[in-house]
Chains A and B, each alone.
Chain A
């Protein structure tokens, strides 16, 4: 598989904004998912981007630039319950529809 890079950890204060970046090699890119995973729990779906631009869902937004091999997840008005690992996952053109390659995840720490 190709490299998918995310920061290992980010720390922010309650009420702040956090931007989690995900970079990948552009060749063969087909789409990008973001999942949230609380400690000891299963990942849950947040967003799916296949076209360039920003998609907003309440306090969470996801952005994609296909030409730059770059996506970010924006968490606004950060809450204590947002403390979790955020996983970026890429679908490649060469793979069947369901196959995803996950990054290692970004642990978000929220301080009061």
Chain B
């Protein structure tokens, strides 16, 4: 099993550009989530999904969209990148959401 995979590992964007961060898991987990991690602030939940076709907002959803068309994939879209979105983004999955979460390796995003 590859576990949770994320692409790309690094990305530089200009203000106003859009892009999609990819996340996939091969463990048949129902629950998936996206976090951002900024220095001194810990991990903050952006969006999450409890199963295919079901998504909901987390703590900091503004500027981001998600969809969950399959159990395996949970992409995160930045609609119009802003410097405030410079961060490390982690995707995570969990069998049911009640269990431990397995994290992907992260995407380091810089918005100029």
Contacts and interface: CB of A to CB of B under 8 A. Distances in A.
Interface of A: 1, 8, 33, 41-45, 48, 87, 89, 96-105
A101 B97 CA distance: 13
Interface of B: 31, 33, 35, 40-45, 48, 50, 56, 58-59, 90, 94, 96-98, 100-106
A98 B48 contact: yes
Given A98-B31, A99-B45, A45 B58 contact: no
A104 B100 contact: no
Contacts of B105: 41-42
Main secondary structure of the interface of A (DSSP, over half): loop
Contact of A98 (B33, B41, B59, B90): B33
Contacts of A33: 100
Given A41-B105, A42-B105, A42-B106, A97 B97 contact: yes
Contacts of B58: 99
A92 to B, nearest CB: 12
25 contacts: A8-B40, A33-B100, A41-B105, A42-B104, A42-B105, A43-B43, A43-B90, A45-B100, A45-B102, A87-B42, A89-B43, A96-B50, A97-B50, A97-B97, A97-B98, A98-B31, A98-B48, A98-B50, A98-B94, A99-B48, A99-B58, A100-B101, A101-B45, A104-B41, A104-B42
